[in-house]
Amino acid sequence: MEEICFICGISGKDVKLYNGIMEEGYELICEKCADDEKIPIFRMPKSEQIKREEAAIKKVSEELAKNRGKEFMEKKQEEEKKKKEIANYNLTLKEIIDKNYEKKFVNISGKPLVPLIDNFHWIIMRTRRDKKMSQAQLALEIGESEIAIRMAEQGKMPEDNVRLVKKLESYLNILIRRDVDIDKNYDLGERDQLLIRKGKFDLLRFDVIKDEMRDMKVKDLNRIQDEFSYKKNVQILREAEEEALKEEYERIENVKKGDNIDTEIVKIEPEDEEKAL
């Protein structure tokens, strides 16, 4: 079917026809009639125009991607900068803590508040290694600085070593004090009081003569560890606890027997009074 203008009837072969926008929909119309009747027409975009639009859209997309990449890089650089600042701060803070801790050794008297056994540092180091922990990990677990652990394993303790000694003994399950009776300011735990009461506290010792340690080999150190390890101390403590429990049981039994005797006496007394009458 031949396409013609719906107003003037001119053929589409003679002029270019457009889609005129009508209330009922689209109608074919020539450009002259559209201008005369003020009818809007729908013009299809040309291929060149489409290409230009596509190129413009592509350019905008590239610019947006570039900006997003730039923002991402700037954000990443900012995060890296913050990480470095935090790392530098932590390093500075660690240096301050270490320096403050080292100051405690400047005028050390040689007699710490809690007297420690000889070679206590060997016990700390060996037990820590048995647990497969680094100095930093142990410090973190007991809430102390890494330098505190490092210096303790070098045999250096500050004068106010009560807190550190308590933490090391508790976490590592060791005893590194020589004689807690010497220090009246140090509170004896129930464990130590029990061992002293049972006369077993003196059995706890880790110290080794320094001269003997000079030429020691690994197997010798392992033997010493077996002989003087905290495991043996725990065994001594368990024996003391068992003795204490046994004594407590016997005491309770004796009290019960005493109560039974008193009850029998109370029952007998009235009978004796009747006989007497």
* 111 falls within a domain: no
Choice between 135 and 178, residue whose per-residue pLDDT is larger: 135
Q: State the angle between helix axes of 218-228 and 120-130 in degrees (0 to 180), rounded to the nearest 10.
A: 100
Expressed as residue numbers, the domain containing 9 is: 1-44
Which residue matches tokens 């590194």? 176
**One domain, residues 151 and 239:** yes
**One domain, residues 17 and 31:** yes
Q: What is the mean pLDDT of the chain?
A: 69
**One domain, residues 173 and 80:** no
* 140 falls within a domain: yes
* Number of domains the chain contains: 3
**One domain, residues 89 and 128:** no
| Residues 233-271: tens digit of each pLDDT | 556 666 666 676 677 667 777 777 766 555 544 444 444
Most confident of 31-45, 120-134, 135-149: 120-134
**One domain, residues 40 and 52:** no
**One domain, residues 15 and 59:** no
Would you say residue 277 has pLDDT above 50? no
- Nearest by Cα to 164 from 114, 111, 212: 114
Choice between 190 and 85, residue whose per-residue pLDDT is larger: 85
Would you say residue 146 has pLDDT above 80? yes
- Nearest by Cα to 156 from 232, 229, 98: 98
**One domain, residues 185 and 92:** no
Angstrom distances, CA of residue 226 to CA of 35, 44, 127, 130, 232 = 110, 95, 11, 12, 8
**CATH code of residue 226:** 1.10.260
**One domain, residues 135 and 239:** yes
* 248 falls within a domain: no
CA separation for the pair 230, 224 (Å, rounded): 11
Which residue matches tokens 């973190």? 140
What pLDDT was estimated at residue 66?
75
Classify residue 166 by burial, with Cβ atoms within 10 Å: 0-12, 13-18, 19+: middle
**One domain, residues 141 and 182:** yes
